[in-house]
Chains A and B, each alone.
Chain A
């Protein structure tokens, strides 16, 4: 059985800029793979190559065992693709949008109707089926976009930043839908700039400046964070950060929310940090050993 997606040493440049640099990724059946990185990291280029919209400079992308650039027609009819900032036809209703995508994939109308009922049950968009897409809320638009790409029942779906600019509640609902699809055996390849969405993926790749920094399960990656991490809980983290940055190397300090994180790169231990705080006369509520997050890891890897 061929893997749904296999990307081998893919590279792509635009002029002098190397957008994607020897990226290799595999996605298994029913797996949710998250490609995580900031804007301009190369996520969109990888995805466009995968869905046959771009031809790589070197390396290749395989879809169901076939080279994407050699079988673009096969790829396009078997993959579900939701482009970045996907915009539906705002002047068409929910139903008309779905029909349009059904027609695009030449699905007979009676089968379209059956499929739409399934998708309505799945997305809970039934009550809004006559509403114009332009009048839907941000979260509902994304659900509709997802439904449109599922009309032809693809076994592999590829989504480019589907939750960009969507509020946390709608985002968690959207991810709930992706999880349900994966349970039914659909393979999902999704990119995002939100690090906190990594936990919802089976496996992830951190991408920055066109290169994959690390790949694996979210827990596995975090467990591989190489240094002890401490969190200083304090009333005024910015003040503490400013004072500490004169004693500790700045790359060991991370201001985060209501606390300051210290990456103990010298492995000096908690006591040494407590001493530093005392000498600097910093009052704090407490210092504790902290679990690293994916963001800590990302910052460590791009250092």
Chain B
């Protein structure tokens, strides 16, 4: 039994070693995705073109304006425009927001005390960010001047865990979750479908090999490869994107193994119903990547989804892994806090792997 397993595992390693192109893709693609998302497609905004109309013109208002202008979020492109000019400014895209400081700013005047923030909300996401950024700047301004003074702005957002509002902190762990799911599923589905295509599977099926041996023999090498890949991505995330690692590395590794097994079993399941490598690839992309991207809470928070999708998100392994990895890395959460997610993930992996072994017949039917 052991020897048989070993011969499959070692053969699979030879395939991995010989096929340098695939190996390079397996290693480089996740890193490429990481850098693309980490740098290019960040969800944070910098240097937002901004026009400030200061109607107060007192030392306090000037300090406030300086706060805004010196932050990395805003770039002041114009000052003191009339109200009628606001719309043309947006239409010609000279600014994305206009901040209007009322004449009563800093005075103990019960009149107009509210700062107007007029945002071009054609991109609602961006509008949201601008709102948040200004809120943060205002809040710190308020803290400095809170000596009995009436506050010019009403809300004070508190940003926990990611006080610098770095989207990469939030993004990279999520990206790791998606990348691992994609790769583990892709590797295992292709490993089996390739043998179907080449005709070697038929040869193996006439041998006394059991489905269990074949499945495990195929999974072990790709489990190790996927793990190595994930650890590489995590290290790069930690070093290049300074994503903190507050929790236990061992706990993370253990979760990774469970998560990778669920991905590999997913791929295996796909391979039992597909005949060509292309179809296996497409199916894997559609079945694993899309839900992991869209429904797992990677980009859109699960709680803001319609109820149906919230339900679906619960049966996506990435949803649970995302909570775990963000919990461990950003919050330093431990085993106790993550028990429900870990339980769900383990259950998934067990169900998936047993279903795929059952579905993997040693006959051609």
Chain A in direct contact with chain B (Cβ < 8 angstroms):
no
Q: Which residues of B contact A (CB under 8 A)?
A: none
